[in-house]
Every structure is written in structure tokens, then in C-alpha cells.
Amino acid sequence: MPFHYLRELTAPERTERNNIHLGITLCFVAGATNAGGFLAVGQYTSHMTGILSGLADNWVLGNVSLMFGALASVLMFMAGAITSSLLINWARRRDRRSLYALPLLLESLLLLCFGLLGGQLDSHSNSLVPLTVLLLCYIMGLQNAIITKISKAVIRTTHLTGLITDISIELGRLLYWNRNLNAPDEIKVLCDRKHLKVQSSLVLAFLCGAISGAYGFNHLGFSSTIFLALILAILSVGPMVEDF
């Protein structure tokens, strides 16, 4: 893949094409991390809806430890997003070209930490599993804030509810029968095919990442995270080189 293309994906100058390509890549990473993380610790860590629901359920049932565990997961996801925002704004104020590369590089390093930490789970499961869950929540929050900032909240990568809703809306428009075919386009129900293609690509990338992550974890174990970390490191290297 040409260095110029990789540099553009995380450059401060943004285009719709770059945002989409970066979003697809990060969806793949999020899917792989989420699926691999589930096989490691038995919990999905990318979507806060389920975790908040679990917090409420355990609050009502009186499961205090599980309730605080869910609360800690939400707070770590928020901490990851806050970290991403701080890094981007810090770099922007100093005219750094690596404003988007910095949080990606941090995510790459944290994925390597997840791989190293995961290798100790069998011998220290009681103490390390909760820490691993919190680390994964932090990583997901960090990544989701990156693409949210870059795309101005158009693209999300760690959860698919909104994406699948958008796809369904466009499919509904596609299937709608406009009885008066001679009517102007302004009053017809028309599918935004470009939007449908983009949203479908993001969902497909997440699915492919989840399959790859589950397969890699099942056959390679925690060392499969090295591949994901390498993807993010390659994405961040261009602007980092320009700054230094």
C-alpha cells in the first residue's frame, strides 16, 4: 500500500474518501478486538448499551460487585474517549500533523498490552480478567472518539445499531413504490445509494474483523493482537514521521 495513501488516511486535511477508508479499517479492528476479547474474557466491550442495561439489572437484583464492574466499564470507555479528545486537541493547538495519529498509536500500544496481559490470564484469572475488560473498554472508547472527531460524528466504528438502522431506512426507501414515475425527484421516495453503500461497507468490515479476530484468537491466541496493533501503527506512522 503506497506510503502517500497511508499518510492521507490520518492527515489533518480530510476528504470524504479518506474518512470512509479509515472508518472501514477501524471497523475491522473494532470487530476483531471485540470478538477476540469475548473469547478471552467472556464479555463484549464495544457497546455501552448492554453494559448499562447490565448495570441497571444488577442494581435492582442487588449484585453490587457486578453493578460496580459495569459502572467501571462505562467509565473506562468514557476515559478512552476523553483521552482521544485531549490528544487531538493538544496536537491541534500545536499544529501537529499527527493529531489523529497520536491516539491511533496509543491504541496500537494498548492492544499489545492486551496481548501481553492476556497471556497471563490462565494463571491469574481472578485478578487479571477484570483489568482486561477495563482495558478493552478503554481501547474501544479511544477508537470510537477518534473516528467521531475525524468524521464530525458521521461515522462510528465500535457499535452497529445506528449503522444497521440507517441501512434499513435506505432499503425501505429502495423498496418503496413510487406510483407516479413522472413526478419530480423532490417528492419521490428515493434511496441514497451512496449512503447505503458506505454504511453497508462499515458493517461488513466489522463482521469480517469479528470473524478474523475470533479465528485468530482461536488458533493463535493472544499473539493475534500483534496484527491489529501493526495495522494501527502503520496508519499512524506517516504523520508521526512528518512531525519529527
Residue 132 in any domain: the answer is: yes
CA atoms of 97 and 221, how far apart (whole Å) = 35
Q: Give the per-residue pLDDT at 204.
A: 96
Q: At residue 76, does pLDDT exceed 60?
A: yes
Residue 197 in any domain: the answer is: no
- Look up residue 193 and give its DSSP letter: H
Q: At residue 119, does pLDDT exceed 70?
A: no
Residue 184 in any domain: the answer is: no
For the chain, the domain total comes to 1
Residue 188 in any domain: the answer is: no
Res. 120 pLDDT band, cuts 50 70 90: low
Q: What is the mean pLDDT of residues 180-207?
A: 86
CA distances from 229 to 17, 173, 182, 187, 202 (A): 23, 39, 54, 48, 20
Residue 81 belongs to what domain range?
11-153+209-243
Q: At residue 198, does pLDDT exceed 70?
A: yes
Q: At residue 205, does pLDDT exceed 90?
A: yes
Q: At residue 168, does pLDDT exceed 90?
A: yes
Residue 58 in any domain: the answer is: yes
The more confidently predicted of residues 94 and 7 is 94
Q: What is the mean pLDDT of residues 168-179?
A: 89
Q: What is the mean pLDDT of residues 82-107?
A: 92
Q: At residue 127, does pLDDT exceed 70?
A: no
Q: Give the per-residue pLDDT at 44.
A: 83
Q: At residue 73, does pLDDT exceed 60?
A: yes
Q: At residue 4, does pLDDT exceed 90?
A: no
Share of the chain above pLDDT 70, in %: 93
Residue 170 in any domain: the answer is: no
Residue 162 in any domain: the answer is: no
Q: What is the mean pLDDT of residues 157-169?
A: 89
What number of other Cβ atoms are within 10 A of residue 6's Cβ? 16
Q: At residue 133, does pLDDT exceed 90?
A: no
Q: Is 13 exposed, middle or buried (0-12, 13-18, 19+ CB in 10 A)?
A: exposed
Res. 222 pLDDT band, cuts 50 70 90: confident
CA atoms of 88 and 100, how far apart (whole Å) = 6
pLDDT in tens, 26-71: 999 999 999 988 887 788 888 888 889 989 999 999 999 889 999 9
Residue 4 in any domain: the answer is: no
